[in-house]
Structure 1
Amino acid sequence: MDSLVSTEWLASELGASDLRVVDATWVIAGQGDPVADYERAHIPGAVFLDLEDVRDTASPLPMMLPPAEKFAGRMQSLGLGDGSRIVVYDNSPYKTAARAWFMFKTFGAHDVAILDGGFAKWRAEGRAVDSGRETLCHRRLTARADRKQVRTLADMKANMDSGAEQVVDARSTSRFTGEEPEPRAEIASGHIPGAHNVPIARLFDADGTYKSPEAIAQVFADAGVDVDRPIVTTCGSGVTASVLAFALHRIGKDAALYDGSWSEWGADPTTPKETGPA
């Protein structure tokens, strides 16, 4: 299974015994109710993965990766387990299927794909939907946390000195430059010094599908990023940084991700901040 699948492909595979479809829609509080939207309409057989619930609730940061055992428990209760082919989709402006994809890969589930164009494209094509909640049998998932592609605050501070990894920020240009204040009052404006800015909207065509690999590579090149050198992605809370990581994966590059992102860096009085364009 490719890491990016079309609506046509998914429609032809629905009902396969090893296929699991997952709605991973997440939005910022006050922007909607993804659970209610899922219950009103979802791709037949899809279960709802609540990204707000599947996080490290012991951390003061908003969306940190959970312990492996918590992730495994939540996925098993959804009927997602070893041997499953998992297709993740969303209906979010933040393209949150990519965050679910990154989590699955981090915890050892390798046969995972994103539905290109998400639920919006599925609905626009008039494809079948179901309502209510899907209930699948509990299935064993062996979660093996592999955090080699996850960066901590200490890693990012060390990188300031070494310059070993290019930092690429997924936030909007106005937040990156500091022209627009951060949504959380306690967090400074700006970006990590030396970072490049690739807002996620640049990675998609008008219909919400990912651009071609060639076009994705050009987006990064236009932002001054050398995709042949190591990259760590960042954003506000680690969610849209996952979109950058997935896009880089599409062009054969394995990027790391700074999980605390600007929620951590921007709130830390000891970290340097920079404003203005890259």
Structure 2
Amino acid sequence: MNAIITASDLMDELAGERPPLLLDVRWQLGGPAGRPAYEAGHLPGAVFIDLEAELAGPAGAAGRHPLPALSDFAAAMRRAGVRADRRVVAYDGGQGWGAARAWWLLRWAGHPSVRVLDGGLAAWTERGGPLSTEATAPPEGDFEPRPGAVPLLDADGAAALARRGLLLDARAAERYRGEVEPIDPVAGHIPGAVSAPTTENVTPEGRFLSAERLAERFTELGATEDAEVGVYCGSGVSAAHQVLALAVAGVPAALYVGSWSEWSADPTRPVATGPERG
């Protein structure tokens, strides 16, 4: 199954006999909370998911958005109505990062059918899709996480993968080079990582490039058939979007959830700067 779905196809599925469950994951780094936007208008039937509270654990040594406790994540997904036998579609305000984080977590936890609405809320409204301000209270779901369905990296695993395979840095290129660091304590990148800003995987409207164009991009970056691929970013959110782009291109990839926020918090870990892998 494709990892993304168009607004047109989602409309068709919602009109069918077994419509997917919709998760609204509007979130912006350093931006306003997503719930007020959800309450002002969301896809009919969508359930709001708070990325900070439900898709991440407390910030600390493991990073700014570490994995949530499995029991907490399971409870949040069941409250949202997630069932093992019902397809899930996540969307956000259009950037795609929040929806991709929900997609990746549910896939990692073993849900068999999760997709992201390509272009998010903007794509929906452009197609004439309606919005609702009614609160959604779905029946309790039955989802039981079985983690490990997709690969996960820790700091040591990311360092090793950078040496033996391809570790992509999904942050802006200037952060990779160490020229600026607006959030974390140290500027630079994991030695051996390759700069691959996730913003280059989408059109100016925030929709994914075609699978063919994405495959070409990742091949040029070194994602050959036999390459083992991993991704990190600042805190494991935009990197999930890059893993999603790789999935669209047909390239499996592991996610380093702790990402630079975890790596740079340990002064014993090496840091590279400049445009090269280091």
Q: Give yes or no for TM over 0.5.
A: yes
The 5 A counterparts of 1:43-192 are: 43-54=43-54, 55-57=56-58, 59-60=60-61, 61-93=63-95, 95-146=97-148, 149-159=151-161, 163-184=163-184, 187-192=185-190
Percentage of matched positions with identical amino acids:
33
2:96–2:206 CA contact under 8 A, matched in 1? no
CA 125–94 in structure 1, closer or farther in 2 if over 3 Å, else same:
closer
Q: 1:94 & 1:227 partners in 2: Cα distance?
A: 27
CA 158–201 in structure 1, closer or farther in 2 if over 3 Å, else same:
closer
Q: 2:226 & 2:240 partners in 1: Cα distance?
A: 19
Select between 164-173 and 120-129 the one with higher mean Cα deviation.
120-129
Q: 2:101 & 2:67 partners in 1: Cα distance?
A: 10
2:94–2:206 CA contact under 8 A, matched in 1? no
Deviations 1:112-158 (A, max 9, x none): 11111111111223320001421101121121111761111222344
| 1:214 is aligned to 2:212 | yes
Q: 1:119 & 1:228 partners in 2: Cα distance?
A: 37
1:27–1:94 CA contact under 8 A, matched in 2? no
- Partner SS, residue 257 of structure 1: strand
Q: Which amino acid aligns with 1:178?
A: G
Q: 2:73 & 2:12 partners in 1: Cα distance?
A: 29
Q: 1:148 & 1:116 partners in 2: Cα distance?
A: 21
Select between 216-225 and 259-268 the one with higher mean Cα deviation.
216-225
Cα distance, 1:225 vs structure 2: 4.3
Aligned residues: 273
Q: 2:267 & 2:59 partners in 1: Cα distance?
A: 22
Corresponding residue for 1:7?
7
Superposition TM-score, scaled by structure 2 size: 0.91
Select between 226-235 and 43-52 the one with higher mean Cα deviation.
226-235
Q: 1:238 & 1:40 partners in 2: Cα distance?
A: 28
Corresponding residue for 1:23?
24
- Partner SS, residue 53 of structure 1: helix
1:24–1:48 CA contact under 8 A, matched in 2? yes
The 5 A counterparts of 1:221-232 are: 221-226=219-224, 228-232=226-230
1:18–1:83 CA contact under 8 A, matched in 2? no
Superposition TM-score, scaled by structure 1 size: 0.91
Q: 1:250 & 1:94 partners in 2: Cα distance?
A: 14
Deviations 1:196-241 (A, max 9, x none): 1111111112332111111102222343443640011000000011
Cα distance, 1:47 vs structure 2: 0.5
Q: 2:225 & 2:195 partners in 1: Cα distance?
A: 14
Q: Which amino acid aligns with 2:93?
A: N
Q: 2:150 & 2:136 partners in 1: Cα distance?
A: 34
Corresponding residue for 1:238?
236
Q: 1:36 & 1:262 partners in 2: Cα distance?
A: 30
Q: 1:71 & 1:197 partners in 2: Cα distance?
A: 31
1:121–1:208 CA contact under 8 A, matched in 2? no
